[in-house]
Amino acid sequence: MDITNKLIVLKLNANWMPIGTCTVKQAVIDMMGGVDGKPNSLALDIEYERNSDGEWDFDNPIYMNPVDWKTWEKIKVREYDLVIHSSKLAIRAPIVLIAVNYNKVPIKRPRPTKDAIMKRDNLHCQYSGRKLTRKEADIDHVIPVSKGGKNTFSNMVVCDIAINRMKADKFAHDVGLKLIKIPQEPSPVPISTTINEMRHPTWGPFMITKKKAE
């Protein structure tokens, strides 16, 4: 199986905080690049022991050592490693990468999707205040699209389907409705808090929340 284009590499900044993901191919390119012979990224050589059940204890590494590509291509491939195959070599695939020249944490600004609006409003109808199920919930444009309303956080709210049908393309005050609160855009968050799906067991020690990939 070719793993070079699989999005299974966790990228960390120089302070070892998650800043994104990339493919194995992109990780190798980062390790081999750089200026004045200094690579942009190093891969973490992480060693584990077996737990009492005989399974590898990925949550408690024995040591973690950042290495460059020349060192990496010579290290031992273990039974639990993913492997990059060439015509003559089998090289351990880098799974955790450190961007040694970058110490910032990117900020992610949420997009006004249906799921994001429902999460912001906690599935409460913004006209009646009633807690809804997802089947009962719809998205209403405060300023109707037919009157120039945009798909923005400040113009979209959770609304009971029945109320939304009644409101149609009118303004709320035209049909006797009033917003409980003025809709606002959620605050941007560090991208490290949004990486919560573990695509490989070795990501575990670096993640704030852990949800295994299905």
Map out the domains of the chain with their CATH numbers: 9-105+190-212 (no CATH), 114-175 (1.10.30.50)
Beta bridge partners of 78: none
Q: What is the mean pLDDT of residues 136-165?
A: 97
pTM above 0.75, yes or no: no
CA atoms within 13 A on the CB side of 47: 7
In sequence order, what are the residues at sequence separation of 6 or more whose Cβ sits closer than 8 angstroms to the Cβ of residue 52?
none
CA atoms lying within 13 Å on the CB side of residue 58: 15
DSSP secondary structure letter of residue 62: S
Residue type, 207: M
Cα 88 from Cα 172, distance rounded (Å)? 69
Alpha-carbon distance 184 to 210, whole Å?
29
pLDDT tens track for 78-97 = 988 999 987 778 899 999 99
